[in-house]
Structure formats: C-alpha cells, structure tokens
Structure 1
Amino acid sequence: MAEEYILVGIRTVILYGLVLLIFRLMGKREVGELSLLDLIVFMMIGEVAVFAIEDPYVNMFKAVFPMLLLMSLQVLLSWFSLRNKSFRDLVDGKPSVLIRNGQLMKDEMRRNRYNIDDLMQQLREKEIFNLHDVEFAILEPSGILTVLRKGRKEGELSLPLVMDGIIQKDHLSSIHRDEQWLRAELKKEGYDQLDKIFFCSFEDGKWYVSTGQ
C-alpha cells in the first residue's frame, strides 16, 4: 500500500513538471486570452495527466505520448493560424461590434448568442449605465467587451485595417472609410502593396504599419 502511494507521488511530480514544461513551450497567455484551440488542448492534456496519476500501473509512456502529441498538434496549428487569417478566424473567431453610435447591433448579438443582460452587466462593470454614452462596444474573441465612450476623438478606436495582407473591410466600415481611402492613404505613407503589410492600424490621425520584418 505504501509503495502505491510512493508511486503515485512520484508520477504526480513527474507529470506536474511535464505539464508545466508543455504549457511553457506552448507560449505565454493569460487565461482570459486563451483561444478555443488552446483551451481544448489544455483540458485534454490535464485529463490525460489525471488519468495517469489515478492509475499508477498504467505504462508511463502511454500517458506521456498523447500529451506530447497534443502539444505538437497545438504548436503546429498555432503556427498555421499565425500565417493564415482565414484559419485563425475560424478557430479563434473575429471581434464583433455589438453597439455602434449608441445603437444595438441585434444581428451581431444574435450571431454571438449574446443577450442584453450580458451586455448591460459588462457595461455596468465599466461604469456605463446608458447605451447612448457608447460610441462602440466590441466583443473580442476572448469574450472581453471593449468599449469606446462618446465624446472622444475620431480615430481613438484603434482597429486593424490590414492583417496578413488582407484588408479588414468590416473595420473600415466601422470608422466610415472605404478601401479606396485606405489604399490612397497608405500610398502616401510609401506602401503600394498591401499584401506585403503584416499589420496596419490608424489611430489619432497616425498610421502604424508593420511589414513583419
């Protein structure tokens, strides 16, 4: 009996160190910023580790192998997600504008299965009690609500206008601009080829452009 407890203790320490190492290798993120992909992999790795601890006589390699396989799969998919915006949107989702100029975007709320009680609670947490005080409210892929109050300068809502060489037309529409305006402005800044731009945003009348190099 004592040997079994010792075996469980040793396996617990080993698996704890292994899980910690795997999570560190998978990258640093706050819990609230975990993507759906991260969350699923973390849960599965935890379940495998618990199974290996509960049954001290299961072959250790059989427990470690699926954990390392899950880590490799997550790293591979994260790498692919970083280079493919369409895949990233599919896995992580996209930001959704829930309030525009004090008006509720009902279709977006329905699409995200987000009810008015959820919205009002998050607004109250930000000390906002009147929808008319809100210029924009954006539901981030992480579930966090980003709010821009009315009365601030135009451009203070910093949205990515180009990501991975792809124009974000929804974001352009949010700031009442179009693709022609974007191309003309970026050309003035010396950027003729938008497909070479890794990230671009416009805030307070200033451009931030990165080619990823």
Structure 2
Amino acid sequence: MVVRLTGKREMGHVSPFDFVVAILIAEVAVIPIADPGSSIWHGIAPLATIVLAELALSWLTLKSQRVRNVVTGRPSIVIRDGRLVEEELRSVRFCIDDLLESLRSKDVADITDVEVAILEPNGSLSVIRKSQCRPLTPADLGMATGYEGLPLPLIKDGVVNDEALAAAGLDREWLVGELRRRGIGQPRDVFFAQLDTAGELFVQLKQQAWR
C-alpha cells in the first residue's frame, strides 16, 4: 500500500533515488516485526515520514526542472548520427559492451543504423533508428488503416466482466446467447473470452480454444 501511495513511478520508472527510498521503506517496515516488544508506532511514524517526504519531493520534481535533474538525473545521448559519443559514455561510465548488448535487445545490430540513442535516467536505453533503417509502415506506403483499439475481456476464468460488457453496449443476455450459439452452456465453462473492436468474439474453454 505504501508503494502504491508513492505512485506508479516507483514501479515503472526506478531512478537511483526511488531505489534508495524503496530500501528505506523496507528497512523501516521490518522494525515492528524484528522487535515484537516495540510499539507498532515505532514503525508507522518513520514510515509515514519517508512517504510524506517522497511525495513532497515527487511534487517538486514535477514543478521544477532543476530539482528533477538533481533527483532523477539527466538523459544522456550516447549515439548521435551513427557515431558513439565518447564523452557521454565516459561521463556516465557506460561501457561499449553494455551499449552493444542494449542495442541487440532492441534488434539493432549496427550502430550506424542509429540516429540517436539516449541513456535514460532509470538506466534504460531509448533508440531511434535512421529513417532509412526503420521498418516500413502503412503510413510510409500511403495506406489508410482502421481503428484497432483494445479488446475487451468479457470473461476471465469463468467470471463475467459486467463492466466490459457495459463498455461495449452489451449485456449478459447477449453473451450467453453467443456462447450457446457456439455450443457452450455457461460462462463458468469459459477460461477466457474477449471482444475486439471489429466485433469478433474470441472464446477459449478451460480445456480447449474455440472461435
């Protein structure tokens, strides 16, 4: 709960500061467990202080670029126009082997194919390929495409998702009718069912998949 209060950034964007805060929270939270004789407030009070300080600092990083640079760091351009930026690599102590490994994980084998590679403050590498090295897209070919969107999960492990049904403008009566049309008696027999934006229903039974 404490980690959730500090925001999704704690889980999805772990900077060195976030990592230190997570360790502090873990260390403080274990105090009442390690010492059964101590009051639970000996753990709650410092934990609340850390969380409030983290929330305050997070607010400051949203409002101030200077604070954000100090707390989370700056992104570093390590490849520009197909050439390594030696000064930045040395500054962030990022060796060439690690850089090549990160590029391979993004299906880039040749650094000369890279327009810009940026080492983000959380340690991840963002890669932008040169335009002539990117895969073709429908937009490149002048082709119009339809809206895809996200499929709606209607049944998960035998449980009907009424919220998803309502979002699709449907109800249980429609769902049961579709299942019976496929020879399926009850929603509880379905492991997973989803409705895509084209109106196609996918149904997988708990032991086999049907369409």
Question: What TM-score results when the alignment is normalised by the length of structure 2?
Answer: 0.60
Match of 1:128 in 2: 108
Shift of 1:39: 1.9
- TM superposition shift of 1:30: 5.9
Please tell me whether Structure 1 or Structure 2 has the larger radius of gyration of its CA atoms.
2
Aligned length: 133
Letter in 2 for 1:110: R
Structure 2 CA distance for aligned equivalents of residues 79 and 128 of structure 1: 37
Give the structure with the higher percent helix: 1
Question: Judging changes above 3 Å, is the alpha-carbon distance between structure 1 residues 27 and 60 closer, same or farther for their aligned structure 2 residues?
Answer: same
Number of the residue aligned with 2:18? 38
Deviates more, 1:90-99 or 1:44-53: 44-53
Unaligned stretches of 5+ residues in structure 2: 134-211
Tell me which of the two structures has the higher relative contact order, counting C-alpha pairs closer than 8 angstroms and 6 or more residues apart.
1
Does residue 53 of the first structure (1) align with residue 33 of the second (2)? yes
CA contact (8 A) 1:37 1:74 kept: no
For residues 61-111 of structure 1, the C-alpha deviation after alignment (integer angstroms, 9 at most, x for no partner) is 111110000001101111111111011001101111100011100110111
SS of structure 1 residue aligned to 2:127: strand
Q: Choose which of 64, 67, 83 in structure 2 pairs with 1:84.
A: 64
Runs of 4+ with >4 A deviation: none
Asked if structure 2 preserves the Cα contact closer than 8 Å seen for 1:93 and 1:141, the reply is yes
Question: Any stretches of 5+ residues in structure 1 without a counterpart?
Answer: 1-19, 154-213
* Alpha-carbon shift at residue 35 of structure 1 (Å): 2.6
How large is the RMSD of aligned CA atoms in angstroms? 1.6
Question: Secondary structure of 2:131's partner?
Answer: coil
Percent same amino acid at aligned positions?
41
C-alpha offsets along residues 29-78 of structure 1, whole Å, 9 cap, x if unaligned? 36351233322111101111123212111121111110000001101111
Structure 2 distance, partners of 1:40, 1:104, is 31
SS at match of 2:89: helix
Deviations 1:115-143 (A, max 9, x none): 00110000111111111111111111111
1:117 and 1:30 map into 2 onto residues whose CA distance is 28
Aligned counterpart, 2:119: 139
**Structure 1 stretch displaced more, 28-37 or 121-130:** 28-37
User: What is the match of residue 154 of structure 2?
Assistant: none
